[in-house]
Amino acid sequence: MPHVVLLGDSVFDNAAYVSGGPDVVSQLRTILPVDWQASLLAVDGNVIADVPRQLAGRPRDVSHLVVSVGGNDALRAAAVLEQPVQSVAHALAVLADVRDRFLAAYGTMLDAVQATGQPAALCTIYDPRYPDPQRRRLTAAALALLNDVITREVFARGLPLIDLRVLCGEDADFANPIEPSVQGGWKIAKAVAAFVRSCPEHSGSPVFAR
């Protein structure tokens, strides 16, 4: 019997932000066949380095893993956007340093995920919906560097990708600037279900974006 486990951060662990509405894992359970299971090991506030610990607590009967993580790592590095620089080249160098640290952490996390031998899908980081248009614009541009890390690492390893940037493309998909609403959670749950249903038929690195 398939048993999908959700790992990562509040993209999946969003119950605190939906005002009593269904969270992602609850919505996923309504989509999956009645004899399939879904478990939540993702923790609001967790970062890339927390995923191996989450993996250690996975149920013995897990059949599929889905990981959405990295947004909190990006938030921790967000102060660089306020850092004074001397040139565009200097600004790019500062962002490249953030990217390199993210790459090292993400690669180590993916090694741990793949070491389980279980089918796994990874998620991109969606673009936050900050009220200030300029902050939203700059954050999306900076996140493009980190999402490039995710897509390259995922595709290089032949893993499936769930593109949250495309899935959560409306303001109504967000309960606040950085957390999915019930509507956004429904879209995410449908993409997760599509991944689980497609295994093991898919080959290469399919992208789930609708």
Q: What percent of the chain has pLDDT over 90?
A: 90
Q: What is the pLDDT of residue 204?
A: 75
Domain of residue 129, CATH code: 3.40.50.1110
Domain interval for residue 102: 3-208
Torsion of CA 32, 195, 19, 53, to 10 degrees: 110
How large is the average pLDDT for residues 149-163?
97
Q: What is the average pLDDT score of the chain?
A: 95
Q: What is the pLDDT of residue 68?
A: 98
pLDDT at 200 over 80: no
Give the pLDDT band (50/70/90) at residue 37. very high
In the chain, the number of structural domains is: 1
Q: What is the pLDDT of residue 111?
A: 98
- CB atoms closer than 10 angstroms to residue 202: 15
Residue of higher predicted confidence among 81 and 3: 3
Give the pLDDT band (50/70/90) at residue 202. low
Q: What is the pLDDT of residue 82?
A: 87
pLDDT at 203 over 90: no
Q: What is the pLDDT of residue 201?
A: 62
Distance, CA of 119 to CA of 195 (rounded, Å): 10
pLDDT tens digit sequence for 163-192: 999 999 999 999 999 999 999 999 999 999
Q: What is the pLDDT of residue 15?
A: 97
pLDDT tens digit sequence for 82-98: 888 899 999 999 999 99
